[in-house]
Amino acid sequence: MAAPAIDINPDQAQPFLKEVMDRSGQNLSACYQCRRCAAGCSVGDETDFFTPNLLIRMVVLGDRERALNNQLVWKCVSCYTCGTRCPNDIQTARITETLKKMAKAEHLPPLQPKIADFHDAFVRSGIRWGRVNEMEFMGAYEMKFALRNIKARQFGAILDEVKTQAGLGMKMTQLRRMHFGFLIAKGRKEIKALQRKSKQRATH
């Protein structure tokens, strides 16, 4: 499979680039396509040739549709490896997170619905409690996953998910990596206020 072609769109390139730069805090225009980021991407084998440098190029050239919804945006694990390699200190993890939020705000059907469910439950839990409580957020995620699959009448997918998660939960409990407690962060109100501010900025 070859790298995806870019649909160049000069009219929307400038405003789109500005929006992504403002929201992510990353200077995408400094990228000179050296591909050092691409060489070390942790999920490089799973993104259908969507490398960090290609994603940046898509934004710069105004290919909004593909930049908002592609395998890298949904599969990036925010490991920051690409950012540590970049000579211009561009943190692609912040760009993928920004594009993911923009795709959600535009209600685009995600290429990876399961990851979208997980991301949504994780972010909401963090904002609600000021930190992520594993049991609460996993419960919310499983609920989202189940409701979506009930609507699509994919009952087998629910069963598979329950089996997978139960197995994982058992292993993590054995390794003492499972936390059953429930904590609320002291700065929860400040975190909510920050989120409100960032939402307001995004809509102006």
Rounded to a whole number, what is the distance in angstroms from the first to the last CA of the chain? 40
Looking at residue 40, the DSSP 8-state letter turns out to be T
Q: Which is nearer to ligand SF4, 34 or 152 (CB)?
A: 34
CA atoms within 13 A on the CB side of 5: 3
Task: Tell whether residue 36 is a contact of ligand SF4 (CB under 6 A).
Answer: yes
CA distance 130 to 153: 35
User: How far is Cα 161 from Cα 5, in angstroms, rounded to an integer?
Assistant: 35
Shorter beta-carbon distance to ligand SF4: residue 118 or 140: 118
Q: Which is nearer to ligand SF4, 30 or 194 (CB)?
A: 30
Q: How far is the CB of 173 from ligand SF4 (least distance, A)?
A: 28
Question: Binding to ligand SF4 by residue 70, rule CB under 6 A?
Answer: no
Residues whose CB is less than 8 angstroms from the CB of residue 141 and which lie 6 or more positions away in sequence, other chains included: 117, 118, 120, 121, 122
Helix (H, G, I), strand (E, B) or coil at 106: coil
Under rule CB under 6 A, residue 92 binds ligand SF4: yes
Q: Which stretch binds ligand SF4 (CB under 6 A): 12-20, 26-34, 118-126, 167-175?
A: 26-34
Residue 88 or 165 with smaller CB distance to ligand SF4: 88
Q: Which is nearer to ligand SF4, 96 or 98 (CB)?
A: 96
Site track for ligand SF4 across 93-122, x = CB under 6 A: x--x--------------------------
Closest Cα partner for 58 from 89, 91, 25, 20?
Answer: 20
Q: How far is the CB of 93 from ligand SF4 (least distance, A)?
A: 4
Q: Which of 130, 148, 3 is nearest to 63 (CA)?
A: 3
Residues binding ligand SF4 (CB under 6 A): 31-37, 41-43, 52-53, 56, 76-82, 85-88, 90, 92-93, 96
